[in-house]
A and B are shown apart, each in its own frame.
Chain A
Amino acid sequence: MNTNTPSEAAIEAAVQAALRAWPPDPTHTLQVLRETQERLGWLPEAALARVAASLGVSIATVRGVVAFYSFLYAEPMGEYRVLFSDNVTDRMRGSEDRLREVCQKLWVEPGKVSEDGLVSVDRTSSIGMCDHAPSLLVNGRPVGDVDARRAEEICDLILARTPLDQWPREFFAVEDLVRRSDVLLDDPLRPGEAVRSALERAETAGSGPQAVLDEIKSARLLGRGGAGFTTGVKWESCGRQPVTPRVVVCNADEGEPGTFKDRLLLGRRADLVLEGMTVAAYAIGATQGFIYLRGEYRHLLDHLLATIERRRRDGLLGSSICGRAGFDFEVRIHVGAGSYVCGEASALVESLEGRRGIPRNRPPRLAEKGYLQRPTIVNNVESYCAAALIVRHGAEWFRASGTERSCGTKLLSVSGDCERPGIYEYPFGVTVRQVLDDAGARDTIAVQVGGPSGVCIGQDEFDRRIGFEDIETGGSFMVFDSSRDLFEVARHFAHFFAHESCGFCTPCRVGTSLLRNLMDKIRDGKGSQHDLVTIEELGRLLRRASHCGLGESASRPLLDTLARFRPAYERRLESSAVEPAFDLDGALARARRMTGRDDAGAHIGEGP
Chain B
Amino acid sequence: MSEEVQAFTLDGVEVPFEKGQTVLQAALAAGRHIPHLCYHPEFRPHGSCKLCTVEVGGSHATSCTLPARAGMKVESETAELNAERRMIVQLLFVEGNHFCPSCEKSGHCKLQAVAYDLGMTNPRFDHFFPDRPVDASHPDLLLDFNRCILCELCVRASAEVDGKRVFALGGRGMGKHLLVNSPSGLLRDSTAAATDKAVEVCPVGVILRKRVGFATPLGARRFDERPISEQALDYAPRPPATGGG
Q: Is the CB of A541 within 8 A of B169?
A: no
Q: Is the CB of B171 within 8 A of A68?
A: yes
Q: Contacts A61-B168, A64-B179, A68-B172: A545 and B91 contacting too (C-beta < 8 A)?
A: no
Chain A's closest residue to B65 (CB) is A361
Q: Contacts A59-B181, A505-B48, A507-B88: A513 and B65 contacting too (C-beta < 8 A)?
A: no
Is A67 in contact with chain B by the CB < 8 A criterion? yes
Q: Is the CB of A500 within 8 A of B173?
A: yes
Q: Contacts A49-B183, A509-B95, A510-B94: A356 and B172 contacting too (C-beta < 8 A)?
A: yes
Interface residues on A, range: 35 or more
Q: Which residues from chain B contact A68 at a C-beta distance below 8 Å?
A: 170-172
In the complex the two chains form, what is the Cα distance from A20 to B183 in whole Å?
Answer: 26
Chain B's closest residue to A516 (CB) is B174
A602 CB, min distance to chain B CBs, angstroms:
25
Is B125 in contact with chain A by the CB < 8 A criterion? yes
Is B214 in contact with chain A by the CB < 8 A criterion? no
In the complex the two chains form, what is the Cα distance from A51 to B62 in whole Å?
Answer: 36
Is A63 in contact with chain B by the CB < 8 A criterion? yes
Of B65, B92, B165, the contact of A58 (CB 8 Å cutoff): B165
In the complex the two chains form, what is the Cα distance from A505 to B92 in whole Å?
Answer: 11
In the complex the two chains form, what is the Cα distance from A171 to B15 in whole Å?
Answer: 66
Q: Which residues from chain A contact B171 at a C-beta distance below 8 Å?
A: 64, 67-68, 503
A161 CB, min distance to chain B CBs, angstroms:
33
Q: Which residues from chain B contact A512 at a C-beta distance below 8 Å?
A: 173
Q: Is the CB of B91 within 8 A of A506?
A: yes
Q: Contacts A503-B150, A509-B95, A513-B173: A547 and B181 contacting too (C-beta < 8 A)?
A: no
Is A9 in contact with chain B by the CB < 8 A criterion? no
Would you give the 0/1 interface string for A521-553, flagging 1 where the beta carbon is closer than 8 Å to chain B? 000000000000010011001001111000000
Chain A's closest residue to B171 (CB) is A67
Interface residues on B, range: 35 or more
Is B47 in contact with chain A by the CB < 8 A criterion? yes
In the complex the two chains form, what is the Cα distance from A49 to B182 in whole Å?
Answer: 10
Q: Which residues from chain B contact A581 at a C-beta distance below 8 Å?
A: 126
Q: Is the CB of B87 within 8 A of A541?
A: yes
Of A59, A498, A503, A546, the contact of B176 (CB 8 Å cutoff): A503
Would you give the 0/1 interface string for B42-76, flagging 1 where the beta carbon is closer than 8 Å to chain A? 00011111110100000010100101000000000
Chain A's closest residue to B167 (CB) is A60
A444 CB, min distance to chain B CBs, angstroms:
33
B161-191 residues at the A interface, CB under 8 angstroms: 165, 167-176, 179-183, 185
Q: Is the CB of A545 within 8 A of B181?
A: no
Q: Is the CB of B169 within 8 A of A64?
A: yes
Q: Is the CB of B49 within 8 A of A506?
A: yes
Chain A's closest residue to B53 (CB) is A545
Of B173, B181, B185, the contact of A499 (CB 8 Å cutoff): B173
Q: Is the CB of B173 within 8 A of A545?
A: no
Q: Is the CB of B87 within 8 A of A503?
A: no
Q: Which residues from chain A contact B88 at a C-beta distance below 8 Å?
A: 506-507, 541, 545
Chain B's closest residue to A61 (CB) is B168
Question: 8 A–B contact pairs at CB < 8 A?
Answer: A58-B168, A59-B183, A60-B185, A363-B67, A503-B173, A507-B50, A541-B88, A547-B50
Query: What 4 A-B pairs have minimum CB-CB distances, sorted nearest first?
Result: A503-B176, A60-B181, A60-B168, A510-B91
Q: Interface of A with B (CB < 8 Å)?
A: 49, 58-61, 63-64, 67-68, 339, 356, 361, 363, 498-507, 509-514, 517, 534, 537-538, 541, 544-547, 581
Q: Interface of B with A (CB < 8 Å)?
A: 45-51, 53, 60, 62, 65, 67, 84, 87-88, 91-92, 94-95, 125-126, 128, 149-150, 165, 167-176, 179-183, 185
Known: A60-B182, A513-B173. 15 other contacts (CB 8 A): A60-B181, A63-B185, A64-B170, A502-B172, A503-B175, A505-B47, A506-B51, A506-B91, A506-B149, A507-B88, A513-B174, A517-B126, A538-B87, A544-B53, A545-B53
